[in-house]
Structure 1
Amino acid sequence: MSDLLGDLVRAVGELPVLLRNGYLDVVVANDLAQRLTAAFTPGTNIARSAFLDPGASRATTPWEATARDVAGLLRERSAEHLDDPRFRGLVGELAARSDDFNRAWQAGVPPRPGTGSFAVEHPVVGRLALTWVDLLAPAQPPGLTLTVVRPDDATTAQRLQSLRTRP
């Protein structure tokens, strides 16, 4: 990953922004993304967080859509990783430990193409209605994706601003 792309993610302050790899590991995230959810902390695997963190399914709504998207992203990439022990290990771990993952994986529903809406029940600022947009990072390792999250309404925009300016 280029330093320029990482610097860009960290420099954006008004919106939550993160960069993730093909394993759904958060590579870099700006401060607001990390304040939004612990799942966006660099080094965190979004799939593990979604399916194995007991609080994740209660904090993100609609959970079923989130589960389908996360499992769908992994399923979509599985053909690229047939001989990748790390990828197979991740999918195997999720399959062994999460009934929700198994249902979503077996449903075979592809992820929403590049954008979608979700809500987060944040413990400090309350409910946030959000839309995410994925942008593939050109000339980077395959699967590297820039995700930008924006508020869906004025109330969420105010709450994000409050979250951003909290000490």
Structure 2
Amino acid sequence: MARTELGAYLTARRALVTPAEANLTVTGYRRVSGLRREEVAILAGVSADYYVRLEQGRERAPSGQVLDALATALRLDEDGRLHLFRLAGIGPRVRAAAVADRVEPSLLSLMDAWPHNPAVVYNRAYDVLASNTIADALFHGWAHSRNLMHVVFTDPAARAFYRDWHGVARNSVAGFRLGHGAAPDDPRVRQVLGELLEQSPEFAELWDRHDARGKALERKDFEHRDVGPLTLTMQTFDVRAAPGQELVVYHAEAGSPSSEALALLGSLAATARRES
């Protein structure tokens, strides 16, 4: 029987938990750095045979109690736990038809009222549905693509633009995986996934890790061709009126060189907009 997404996720997660992290005593030679199947079974309080069937796809309907135990054994955070439940068919999944790509006019007006704060709205496929003027300037007018996953993995300039490209790449794939788990039948999500698997070996390698993690408060370092280095704090908000959409807002620390660079970028963007 073919391996399921649930089985692949369990396999990938146990490979990332060391025996020391699980408070297990290690004796003798080990062929794997992570946990063995029987060790996960012991930690979760299930039989080794049952756990093997889960990984191999021969068991597809674990209970919520078993999933809770597995989440604890595999040291999953809240996003990882949510993803586990979704893969098992217990967490809510969204039909593709329910995913909205229209951005509310009131949200667009709010974004336009932030001349010094780059702001974008994107969907589960990471298509940018809306952006304000300074965000357009930050991302160079979206010359390569209006899909953030394509920007990270297929734009040759991305490695210079994102000063911590590897960190951005890992977080982007983890966020994309979480969205994919919520709406695996969304045709646009599936399209972007197929394109990236074909075009980017680095995306494919990160995808195989099965990291699933939503965006949180974080700092990003950019190298902008017009204003130089920028360190911006990024905050992400779910758009309640349109499930599947997220609003991302960037800001710089007051009085910092990044704040001055961002102000200059806003001035350049406003000038370009008046002249266009």
The answer, yes or no, to whether TM exceeds 0.5 is yes
**Matched residue of 1:44: which SS?**
coil
Q: Which has the higher contact order (CA 8 A, sep 6+)?
A: 1
Whose Rg is larger? 2
Q: After superposition, where does 1:58-77 map in structure 2 within 5 Å?
A: 58-77=160-179
* 2:181 aligned with 1:79: yes
Against the structure 1 CA distance between its residues 113 and 89, is the aligned structure 2 distance closer, same or farther, given a 3 Å change threshold?
closer
- Whether 2:190 is the aligned partner of 1:88: answer yes
Contact 1:24 1:46 in 2 (8 A): yes
Aligned residue-pair number: 165
2:244 is equivalent to residue 149 of structure 1: no
1:163 aligns with one of 257, 260, 265? 265
Q: How do 1:10-89 and structure 2 match up within 5 A?
A: 10-38=112-140, 44-89=146-191
8 A Cα contact 1:119 1:129, kept in partner: yes
Inter-partner Cα distance in structure 2 for 1:163 and 1:100: 31
Q: Which amino acid aligns with 1:36?
A: L
The unaligned stretches of length 5 or more in structure 2 are 1-102, 272-276
State the alpha-carbon separation in 2 of the partners of residues 147 and 165 from structure 1: 21
Q: Which runs of 5+ in 1 are unaligned?
A: none
2-structure distance, mates of 1:11, 1:32 = 11
Kindly provide the amino acid, as one letter, of the partner of residue 95 in structure 1. L
Retained in 1: the 8 A contact 2:175–2:215? no
Separation in 1, partners of 2:214, 2:163? 15
Equivalent position SS for 1:133: strand
Q: Could you tell me how far 1:68 is from its partner in structure 2? A: 0.9
Maintained 8 Å contact 2:171/2:215 = no
Letter in 1 for 2:154: L
CA drift at 1:92 = 1.0
Task: Kindly indicate which of the two structures has a greater share of residues assigned to strand.
Answer: 1
**SS of aligned partner of 2:208:** helix
**Aligned-residue offset at 1:152:** 4.2
Contact 2:232 2:251 in 1 (8 A): yes
Residues of 1 paired with 2:142 and 2:116: CA distance? 16
What percent of counterpart residues are identical?
A: 27
| Partners of 1:117 and 1:131 within 8 A in 2 | yes
Question: How big is the shift at 1:96?
Answer: 0.8
Instruction: Report the CA distance shift for 1:65/1:112 in structure 2 as closer, same or farther (over 3 A).
Output: farther
Task: Find the partner of 1:5 among 85, 95, 107.
Answer: 107
**Which amino acid in 1 is paired with 2:150?**
R
Q: Give 1:116 shift.
A: 1.5
Query: Scaled by the length of structure 2, what TM-score is found?
Result: 0.56
Structure 1 distance, partners of 2:146, 2:140, is 8
Equivalent residues in 2 for 1:64-143, closer than 5 Å = 64-111=166-213, 113-140=215-242, 142-143=243-244
- Structure 1 counterpart SS, 2:109: helix
Q: For residues 40 and 12 of structure 1, do their structure 2 counterparts lie closer, same or farther at Cα, with a shift above 3 Å needed?
A: farther
**1:80 to partner: Cα distance:** 2.5
Q: CA deviation at 1:40?
A: 5.6
* Deviation by residue 1:103-153 (Cα, 9 ceiling, x = unmatched): 22122333464221111111111010111110111122x211111101146
- Aligned-pair Cα RMSD in Å: 1.9
SS of the equivalent of 2:230 reads strand
Secondary structure of 1:149's aligned partner: strand
SS in 2 for 1:61: coil
Runs of 4+, deviation exceeding 4 Å:
none
